[in-house]
A and B are shown apart, each in its own frame.
Chain A
Amino acid sequence: MHDHSESLIKELQGVARQIRLDVLDMVYRRQAGHPGGSFSCAEILAALYFHHLKIDPARPDWPERDRFLLSKGHAAAALYSVLAQRGFFPLEDLERWGHLGAHLQGHPDRVKTPGVEMSSGFLGHGLSIAVGLALAQRLGGPRYHIYALMSDGDMQSGVAWEGAMAAAKFRTSEVTVIMDYNDVQLDGAAHDIMPLEPLIDKWRAFGFAVIPINGHNVRQILEALDEALEIHSMPTVILARTTKGKGVSFMENSAKWHGAVPSAAEYEQAKAELKGYPA
Chain B
Amino acid sequence: MSEIPQRQAYGVALAEYGDLNDAVVVLDADVSSSTLTKFFADRHPARFFNMGVTEASMVNVGVGLALGGKIPFVNTFAALLTLRACEQIRTCVAYAHTNVKLVGGYAGLSDYKDGPTHFATNDIALMRAMPNMVVLAPADNREAARMVQVIAEYPGPVYMRISRAVVPDVFDDSLTVEIGKGITLRDGGDVTIIGCGSMVGRCLRAADRLAQEGIDARVLSMASIKPLDAELVVLAAQETGALVTAEDHTILGGLGSAVVEALAEHHPAPVEFVGLKDTFAETGPDTETLMDAWGLSIADLVAAAKRAMQRKA
Contact = CB atoms under 8 A, between A and B. Distances in A.
Contacts of A139: 22, 25, 46-47, 70
Given A125-B60, A129-B92, A162-B57, A136 B69 contact: yes
Interface in B33-65: 46-47, 49, 51-52, 54, 56-58, 60-65
Given A117-B67, A139-B25, A165-B52, A132 B96 contact: no
A159 interface: yes
B305 to A, nearest CB: 44
A122 B47 CA distance: 29
B90 to A, nearest CB: 9
Interface string A117-146: 111111001001111111111011100000
Interface in A31-73: 63, 67
A134 B65 CA distance: 8
Contacts of B60: 125, 128-129, 131-132, 159, 163
Contacts of B231: none
Interface residues of A, number: 32
Interface in A128-185: 128-137, 139-141, 158-159, 162-163, 165-166, 170
B204 interface: no
A120 B69 CA distance: 19
A141 B22 CA distance: 12
A171 to B, nearest CB: 13
Nearest to B53: A162
Question: Most chain-B CB neighbours within 10 Å: which of A117, A141, A159?
Answer: A159
Interface of B: 22, 25, 46-47, 49, 51-52, 54, 56-58, 60-70, 72, 87-88, 91-92, 95-97
> Which 9 A/B pairs are nearest by Cβ-Cβ distance?
A132-B64, A136-B68, A162-B57, A128-B60, A162-B54, A119-B96, A132-B61, A128-B57, A129-B64
Given A63-B69, A128-B54, A135-B49, 9 more contacts: A128-B58, A128-B60, A131-B61, A132-B61, A132-B68, A136-B64, A136-B68, A140-B22, A162-B56
